[in-house]
Chains A and B, each alone.
Chain A
Amino acid sequence: MYAIETKSLTKYYGKSRGIVDADLTVKEGEIFGFIGPNGAGKSTMIRTLLNFIFPTGGSAKVLGMDVIKETKEIKKQVGYLPGEVDYYDDMSCGELLRYSERFYNKDCTENINELAELFELDLKKKIHTLSLGNKKKVAIIQALLHSPKLLILDEPTGGLDPLMQMRFFSRLQEENKKGTTIFFSSHILSEVQKLCHRVAIIREGRILKVENMEDLRNNQFRKVRINFTGEVPDLNIQGIINSHQENHTLHLFFKGDVNELVKSLGCHQLDGLWIEEPTLEEVFMHYYEKEEYR
């Protein structure tokens, strides 16, 4: 049984595209990243899995159950962290979590208290007084409190400070060791890298590629900008995928040994050198588009 299994899942909102022919399988016990730029269809995929929206084609199963017919059973075992967090204004954090708990018909007091302590959340506070980050903590706790078998997280770290983000990730890893499958979407590559076993890359509604994290790590892309004091020289180094220059500045998209690059730059007079991790968008533009043409 797969934790998530979709077969040519398609969703159109009228004429506008959500996802097209998405085939996706997430194994039980995996941490699976779902990455793509904004508007690629990540949230559409998640909303379909949770039956907030109905697919226009194809089918999907979560934990072996049909997402439409057995949605109630599915949700007993799924925790969902929405991307945009908003809760009932009149409730305190504690009241919201109690409200959430009652849907599962089990006592989760221990879990709630433990999680509140971990994330330093004051349960007595009214939700409408909370900052975005603190609201996110409430959302995380309500997703975890019933010890779900599958966690679905939509852009999970937005708003959390680095310390909380770290605690959250290590908590996720603990949950995963206990057997929880984790499926999460993100547009930040580095976020995915830290955590995931496998990633699917989605663009314009289509799943382009599913890769092992290992393999993706070996594809180390770098965005390089070099300011030369004089004219831009001809560089002959392996791994330059794309380059363009303006005045004395050279922009490179580089996939190769950075040491080689730095060594060969050593013979030139430089004003400045920037080596950065490219955004996902850029990886798509330079890498995946080419891949399609091949």
Chain B
Amino acid sequence: MNILRRELKANRRSLIIWSSILALLSLLMMALYPSFSDSPDKTTELLSLFPEEFLKAFGADKLNMGEPIGWFALETYFMIILFGSMFAAIIGSSMLSKEEDEKTIEFLLAKPVTRNHVVTGKLLALLICLVVFNAVVGIVTFIGFEAFAGDYSRMELLRLIAAPFLAHLCYAGIGFLLSLFLTRRKSTYSVSIGIVLMTYFLGVIADLSEKVEFLRYLSPFYYMDASDIVSDGRINPLYTLILLGVSALAVGATYFLYNRRDITI
């Protein structure tokens, strides 16, 4: 638990920064909602400027921006899921690699710990960071809805708050595994942001063109698409399982590989 405590402390600052920025963004977007919902014509006018495929790619065809949930799903949700995933991938991938990059791993492994202890401590810290991040953003979003949205379904909101967490878990798991191969901290940052953006745009491209539709299955964002969640009235359990499965596999592989790894710095 010593390692867990240490990691929570070390990641405290970036957790505070990321969660407060996104929480504030979410609150701000909800504060803007009343002025838009007052003039729905303007919104429709604005949307008609974009090509149809483009709107489809962002799910605007299925959502109504004149309603609070639709507004949130279109304006805020993608930021929470996208930036949250970046945050998850970044801290996930730096957890193990920073010890090797900063050459502190020899200190740590010379203490009476097994490699499993090290991985578990860091994994728990990662999980707690993500829970806190999502809780902060979720609670502030809820406050925003209570203050500005007027009439809305709390159940629908809860689904849209829970869904990004599943994607975050998936990216954190992938980042965690990646950190075994990227032991330079600088490269972990760029690679994790790169992977998140790449998979995000893969999903967008798949929506834009039917020829490459299959690509969407490579994008975790597709599985937690806001417009699907709103129109289906549920988070797809199979998709949930896929994301959690990928995450669990990545974590399992990390345990397996880390126990056999030569630590040379």
A residues with a Cβ closer than 8 A to B are 13, 47, 50-54, 71-73, 75-76, 78-80, 82, 84, 86-90, 99-100, 102-104, 139, 142
Tell whether A84 pairs with B103 under 8 Å between CB atoms, given A52-B264, A53-B263, A103-B111: yes
B contact residues vs A (CB 8 Å cutoff): 2, 6, 10, 102-107, 109-114, 117, 260, 262-265
Instruction: Contacts A52-B109, A87-B102 known; list 4 others, CB within 8 Å.
Output: A47-B264, A50-B109, A52-B105, A54-B260
- A75 contact from B2, B110, B263, Cβ within 8 A: B110
Which of B6, B104, B112, B264 makes the CB contact (< 8 A) with A53?
Answer: B264
CB < 8 Å neighbour of B264 from A13, A71, A75: A13
Contact A99 B2 (CB under 8 A): yes
- Residue of A47, A51, A87, A104 touching B107 (CB-CB under 8 A): A87
Going nearest first, the 10 A-B pairs with the smallest beta carbon separation are: A86-B103, A80-B110, A103-B111, A53-B262, A52-B263, A75-B112, A76-B112, A102-B2, A82-B106, A72-B114
A99 to chain B, nearest CB (A): 6
Which residues on the B side are within 8 Å of A75 (C-beta)?
110-113
Q: How far is the CA of A82 from the CA of B260 in the complex (A)?
A: 21
B113 CB contacts on chain A under 8 angstroms: 72, 75, 103
Given A80-B106, A86-B102, A73 and B112 contact (CB-CB distance below 8 Å): yes
Interface centre among B104, B112, B260, B262 (most CB of A within 10 A): B112
Q: Quick check: A51 and B262 within 8 Å, CB to CB?
A: no
Q: Find chain A residues with CB under 8 A from B112 CB.
A: 72-73, 75-76, 103-104
Q: Which residue of A lies closest to B264 (CB)?
A: A53
- Asked whether B102 lies within 8 Å of A13 as measured between CB atoms, the reply is no
Of A73, A88, A103, the contact of B10 (CB 8 Å cutoff) = A88
In the complex, chain B residues whose CB is within 8 Å of the CB of A102:
2
Residues of B within 8 A of A72 (CB): 112-114, 117
Max chain A CB contacts within 10 Å: which of B6, B105, B262?
A: B262
- A89–B107 Cα distance when bound, in Å, is 13
Closest residue of chain B to A78, judged by CB?
A: B110
For the complex, give the distance between the alpha carbons of A79 and B107 in Å. 10
Q: Tell me which of A52, A53, A73, A102 has the highest count of chain B C-beta atoms within 10 A of its own C-beta.
A: A52
| B104 and A87 within 8 A (CB) | yes
Contact (Cβ within 8 A) B104 A86: yes
* Chain B residues in 8 Å Cβ range of A100: 107, 111
C-alpha spacing A88/B101, complex, angstroms: 11
Query: Which residue of chain B has the shortest Cβ distance to A152 in the bound complex?
Result: B110
Complex CA–CA separation, A47 to B113 (angstroms)? 15
Q: Are A52 and B106 in contact (CB under 8 A)?
A: yes
Contact call A88/B102, Cβ cutoff below 8 A: yes
Distance of B31 from chain A, by nearest CB (Å):
36
List the A residue with the shortest CB-CB distance to B260.
A54
Complex contacts, B260 vs chain A, CB 8 Å: 54
Selected from A50, A73, A89, A139, the residue in CB contact (under 8 A) with B102 is: A89
Docked Cα-Cα span, A71 to B111, in Å, equals 10
CB closest residue in chain A, given B1: A102
- A sample of 16 inter-chain contacts (CB < 8 A) reads A50-B110, A52-B106, A75-B111, A80-B110, A82-B110, A84-B103, A87-B107, A88-B10, A88-B104, A89-B102, A99-B6, A103-B2, A103-B112, A103-B113, A139-B107, A142-B107
CB pair B2–A51 under 8 Å, yes or no, is no
Q: Find chain B residues with CB under 8 A from A88 CB.
A: 10, 102, 104
Q: Which chain B residue shows the least CB distance to A138?
A: B107
Complexed CA–CA distance, A90 and B98 (Å): 13
Cα A87 to Cα B103 with chains together (Å): 7
- Cβ-defined contact, B110 with A84, below 8 A: no
Within the complex, the shortest CB–CB distance from B8 to chain A, in Å, comes to: 13
